[in-house]
Amino acid sequence: MPTARDIVDQLSRLLPPERVLSAPSDLEHYGRDWTRQVAPAPSAVVLPGSVEQVQALVAWARRTGVPLVPSGGRTGLSGGAVAANGEVVVAMDRMNRVLGFDAADRRLRVQAGVVTESVQREARARGLLYPVDFASRGSSQIGGNIATNAGGIKVLRYGLTRQWVSGLKVVTGTGDVLDLNQGLVKNATGYDLRHLFIGSEGTLGFIVEADLVLAPQPPEQQVMVLAVPALEALMPLFDRLRSGLVLGAFEFFTDQALSHVLAHGGKRPFQGSAPFYVLAEFDADDEAALACFEAAADAGEVADGVVSQSRAQAAELWHLREGITESLASRTPYKNDVSVRIGEVPAFLSRMQALFQREYPQFEVVWFGHLGDGNLHISVLRPQDMAADRFAAECGRVTRLLGEVLHEMGGSISAEHGLGLLKKPFLRYVRSEEEIALMRGLKRVFDPDGILNPGKVVDL
Ligand code: MLT
Ligand code: ZN
């Protein structure tokens, strides 16, 4: 493998030299994502400006054996965009143009480096909606969203990113450029390779362009936050709200999670407190909301609650849920992001809470997530008196215990954060040996030299 200096020299002949970065601050900045557990150590960072330049980088990597790490907004939480072993980070920041809009197809063609919030703005400007949404919308890029099949807070109504991608241009690990599905609604011509790249975490190819389908704007939305006195009330409440309202989101957090947001400037939604809270977003309907609330209160499913009366209030309520990650960030939590079938959420929750109490009473465990999707985020905070390496080892054990329960329940060890570096070792809990062997076979087809995002998803 060439030295870091040789790598920078060679790359500077391939790309305009100002697009090749090697200052320690750049290596630090581009070498990591929002996962803080792994130290970045790339050899260099490059900022290609065209598909041809991406192809040239792939050809160079195949010649030299220096691997490439595709990089978007780096908001991932499993280490999928971390370059920890001398790789070259290929950041898509400069490929950030909107390429066109087709009104009949409601199709927006974008380069991979367009930020999610810009896509949402472009859609709004045309009276439409790009419905994939999450707290990191201001930094995450569409290429990264597609590479991780991003979920977020609107999955209940709109599904995952996969549903909104009608075409993809990719550069594979062999340097081939593939134009997949070209924005078609119907295309019954064999294997749909587009879907292999969605969620592949940059291990099969670079996503360089995408066709995104836009949705009609929904009616005005309202938000309610409800205090839920007992675990057993969560699913009956979900059923009640989805029968009585047109529901767009059904999110959940514990009182402990709320306390972190309140400590960071969040506003308490009402006086009373409860062990659990639910945030529901729905097509505005004061009357139906009140009827649901009253019926839920009579059934003992809610102890208190508030319904937004303005957009500002709705945003304030959303902040109680969306602000959790930021409020925990300074504690560098160890995150698990799991899913079970929706009906099994209460059983899973009580099983895991009992397990944490029994095995790890000293850990503060913060629970929140997308309850309507069966997706729970479990953030474990390091006790002040525990050394970082012991904490990391214990958290590995926590994930193995989780893996065993999820294996038994047919759940997933990563619902929406991907495998990255952190969750790859736990893949065997939720995918069979045969399935993993087939995934490896696919990796060999698209990236025979193993130059794309090594150490993520599967090995060659
Ligand atoms: C969320 O739902 O807020 C995100 O997935 C981030 C997180 O799990 O911390
Ligand atoms: Zn989430």
Which CATH number is 341's domain given? Answer: 3.30.70.2740
Is residue 444 a part of any domain in this protein? no
DSSP state of 154: T
When divided into structural domains, the chain yields a total of: 4
Task: Give me the domain span that covers residue 390.
Answer: 332-418
Domain boundary among the residues 325, 341, 376 is at: 325
Three-class secondary structure of residue 399 per DSSP: helix
In this prediction, residue 422 carries a pLDDT of 95
Domain boundary among the residues 183, 216, 249 is at: 216
Question: Which ligand is located closest to the Cα atom of residue 339?
Answer: 2
Is residue 447 a part of any domain in this protein? no
* Residue 1 alpha carbon to ligand 2 centre in Å: 38
Residues 79 and 177 in one domain: no
C-alpha pair distances (Å), 199 with each of 36, 105, 362: 22, 24, 35
List, in sequence order, every residue forming a beta bridge with 250; answer none if it has no partner.
280
Residues 210 and 227 in one domain: no
In this prediction, residue 36 carries a pLDDT of 86
Other residues' Cβ atoms within 10 Å of the Cβ of residue 102: 12
Is residue 281 a part of any domain in this protein? yes
Mutate to test the pocket of ligand 1, among 417, 422, 423 (most ligand atoms within 8 A of CB): 417
State the CATH number of the domain containing residue 259. 3.30.70.2190
State the CATH number of the domain containing residue 188. 3.30.465.10
The whole-angstrom separation of Cα 84 and Cα 39 is 6
Q: Residue 450: which region, alpha, beta or left (left: phi > 0; alpha: psi -120 to 50)?
A: left
Is residue 455 a part of any domain in this protein? no
Is residue 441 a part of any domain in this protein? no
Alpha carbon nearest to ligand 1 atom 8, residue:
377
List, in sequence order, every residue forming a beta bridge with 305; answer none if it has no partner.
226
Residues 143 and 206 in one domain: yes
The reply to whether ligand 1 has any atom less than 6 angstroms from the CB of 135 is yes
Question: What atom of ligand 1 comes closest to residue 375's alpha carbon?
Answer: 2
* Residue 135 alpha carbon to ligand 1 centre in Å: 8
The reply to whether ligand 1 has any atom less than 6 angstroms from the CB of 377 is yes
In this prediction, residue 1 carries a pLDDT of 84
* Residue 325 alpha carbon to ligand 2 centre in Å: 9
Is residue 151 a part of any domain in this protein? yes
Is residue 439 a part of any domain in this protein? no
In this prediction, residue 421 carries a pLDDT of 95
101 φ, ψ (degrees, to nearest 5): -140, 135
Residues 143 and 234 in one domain: no
Residues 106 and 203 in one domain: yes
Residues 208 and 267 in one domain: no
Domain boundary among the residues 216, 241, 257 is at: 216
Residues 127 and 176 in one domain: yes
Is residue 423 a part of any domain in this protein? no
- Three-state SS for the chain is CCCHHHHHHHHHHHCCHHHEECCHHHHHHHHCCCCCCCCCCCCEEECCCCHHHHHHHHHHHHHHCCCEEEECCCCCCCCCCCCCCCCEEEECCCCCCEEEEECCCCEEEEECCCEHHHHHHHHHHCCEECCCCCHHHHCCEHHHHHHCCCCCCCHHHHCCHHHHEEEEEEEECCCCEEEECCCCCCCCCCCCCHHHHCCCCCCCEEEEEEEEECEECCCCEEEEEEEECCHHHHHHHHHHHHHHCCEEEEEEEEHHHHHHHHHCCCCCCCCCCCCEEEEEEEECCHHHHHHHHHHHHHCCCCCEEEECCCHHHHHHHHHHHHCHHHHHHHHCCEEEEEECCHHHHHHHHHHHHHHHHHHCCCCEEEEEEEHHHCEEEEEEECCCCCCHHHHHHHHHHHHHHHHHHHHHHCCECECCCCCCCCCHHHHHHCCCHHHHHHHHHHHHHHCCCCCECCCCCCCC
Residues 87 and 128 in one domain: no
Question: Which ligand is located closest to the Cα atom of residue 34?
Answer: 1
Residues 307 and 342 in one domain: no
Residues 114 and 165 in one domain: yes
Is the distance from CB of 365 to CB of 379 less than 8 angstroms? yes
Beta strands in 214-259 (DSSP E): 215-216, 221-228, 247-254
State the CATH number of the domain containing residue 21. 3.30.43.10
Residue 154: name the closest of 138, 121, 122, 130 by CA.
130
* Residue 14 alpha carbon to ligand 1 centre in Å: 38
In this prediction, residue 114 carries a pLDDT of 98
pTM, full prediction? 0.96
Is the distance from CB of 116 to CB of 142 less than 8 angstroms? yes
Is the distance from CB of 61 to CB of 105 less than 8 angstroms? no
Q: What is the ipTM of this complex?
A: 0.97
DSSP state of 141: B
Residues 109 and 204 in one domain: yes
Residues 393 and 290 in one domain: no
In this prediction, residue 272 carries a pLDDT of 85
User: What does each of the 460 residues of the chain score in pLDDT, given as a tens digit?
Assistant: 899 999 999 999 999 999 999 999 999 999 999 998 899 999 999 999 999 999 999 999 999 999 999 999 999 999 999 999 999 999 999 999 999 999 999 999 999 999 999 999 999 999 999 999 999 999 999 999 999 999 999 999 999 999 999 999 999 999 999 999 999 999 999 999 999 999 999 999 999 999 999 999 999 999 999 999 999 999 999 999 999 999 999 999 999 999 999 999 999 999 889 999 999 999 999 999 999 999 999 999 999 999 999 999 999 999 999 999 999 999 999 999 999 999 999 999 999 999 999 999 999 999 999 999 999 999 999 999 999 999 999 999 999 999 999 999 999 999 999 999 999 999 999 999 999 999 999 999 999 999 999 999 999 8
Residue 314: name the closest of 245, 234, 225, 238 by CA.
225
Question: What atom of ligand 1 comes closest to residue 369's alpha carbon?
Answer: 2
Alpha carbon nearest to ligand 1 atom 6, residue:
325
The reply to whether ligand 1 has any atom less than 6 angstroms from the CB of 414 is no
Alpha carbon nearest to ligand 1 atom 9, residue:
325
The reply to whether ligand 1 has any atom less than 6 angstroms from the CB of 35 is no
Is the distance from CB of 250 to CB of 239 less than 8 angstroms? no
